[in-house]
Amino acid sequence: MAMNSSVTEFILFGLTQDARKQKAIFGVLLILYLATLLGNFLIVVTIKTSRTLGSPMYFFLFYLSFADACLSTTTAPRLIVDALSQKKTISYNECMTQLFAAHFFGCMEIFVLILMAFDRCIAICKPLRYTTIMSHHVCSVLVILSWVGSCIHSSAQLFLALRLPFCGPNVIDHYFCDLQPLLKVACMDTYVINLLVVSNSGAICMVSFIILLISYVVILYSLRNHSAEGRRKALSTCTSHFIVVVLFFGPCIFIYTRPATTFPIDKMVAVFYTIGTPLLNPLIYTLRNAEVKNAMKKLWCSQV
């Protein structure tokens, strides 16, 4: 329990209170969530079992799909169940766990997206030294560092949340526990904590987005010297990465880089990156990637 809290549970307001809309939300989100799990599961299994997908790009894609499946699992099941139940309560401890997990996997996703851009940068700018630079050992270390980084980020969020005093109001105007909605029901002046949220989550979003943009500029710049075929292939890979990056960071930057105001649209925007992006990632990476498609065909045809 928190040091200074008389609240043992919160009520999640959810996306809407309208019963008809809630049934629709239940149906749509259940389908989206199952599709997300299926898509990411297919990628994870394909990469693990395929002999052709051994390059660093797929090593990172494996972790991106894993993070995607986990990110949507931290928020979607509860949202789906709550759409049908009358009393949408969540205990204090569950709330803190959800906050930690959502930030952990969200941050993990950001770091893996950066690793994937870095990998493409090396592949295109230093093609001859690519295999020595991006050895399996290096890739493993990079992934471990992103786990550690995510852990530090989400622990910081959790530390801030555990310090919040709650003394009565316990209706959270959101569908999962995040710091901004919690700050609105805390019994203290949250100005300083909100600055910390913006400087933690907001900075991670902004800095990562800028790093990614720079890496794509570098890639485009170094493509000048490549053959037309090489250019087409590289552009196709990078376009799919870039679509994913914009879809994920747009909502993140919108939510985490502004002062202590919450807009009604926030919840819809959050749905986009907690449920939308994890579903779109596997689609974008498989539909735009011939190697993954072929590996999937091979794997599932041999099973059947």
Cα separation, 117 vs 215, in Å, equals 6
**Phi and psi at residue 186, in whole multiples of 5°?**
-75, 150
What is the pTM assigned to this prediction? 0.91
Per residue, the 3-state secondary structure of 132-191, as one string, reads HHCCHHHHHHHHHHHHHHHHHHHHHHHHHHHCCCECCCCEECCCCCCHHHHHHHCCCCCH
User: What is the pairing mode between strands 9-12 and 89-91?
Assistant: antiparallel
- The domain spans of the chain are 9-302
Which tokens belong to 294?
């072929």
Spans of the chain, pLDDT less than 70:
1-5, 260-262
Closest by Cα among 138, 142, 286 to 130? 138
CA distances to 13, 196, 256, 283, 287 from 267, in Å: 10, 21, 13, 24, 29
Cα separation, 172 vs 266, in Å, equals 13
Write down the pLDDT at residue 34.
96
Per residue, the 3-state secondary structure of the chain, as one string, reads CCCCECCCEEEECCCCCCHHHHHHHHHHHHHHHHHHHHHHHHHHHHHHHCCCCCCHHHHHHHHHHHHHHHHHHHHHHHHHHHHHCCCCEEEHHHHHHHHHHHHHHHHHHHHHHHHHHHHHHHHHHCCCCHHHHCCHHHHHHHHHHHHHHHHHHHHHHHHHHHCCCECCCCEECCCCCCHHHHHHHCCCCCHHHHHHHHHHHHHHHHHHHHHHHHHHHHHHHHHHHCCHHHHHHHHHHHHHHHHHHHHHHHHHHHHHCCCCCCCCCHHHHHHHHHHHHHHHHHHHHHHCCHHHHHHHHHHHHHHC
Task: Answer yes or no: are the C-beta atoms of 36 and 275 closer than 8 Å.
Answer: yes
Write down the pLDDT at residue 5.
60
Write down the pLDDT at residue 105.
96
Cα separation, 31 vs 34, in Å, equals 5
**Phi and psi at residue 174, in whole multiples of 5°?**
-165, 180
Which tokens belong to 292?
């993954």
CA distances to 26, 85, 149, 200 from 81, in Å: 8, 6, 31, 31
Write down the pLDDT at residue 156.
94
Fold of the domain spanning 9-302: Rhopdopsin 7-helix transmembrane proteins (1.20.1070)
Strand pairing partners for 12? 172
Write down the pLDDT at residue 260.
64
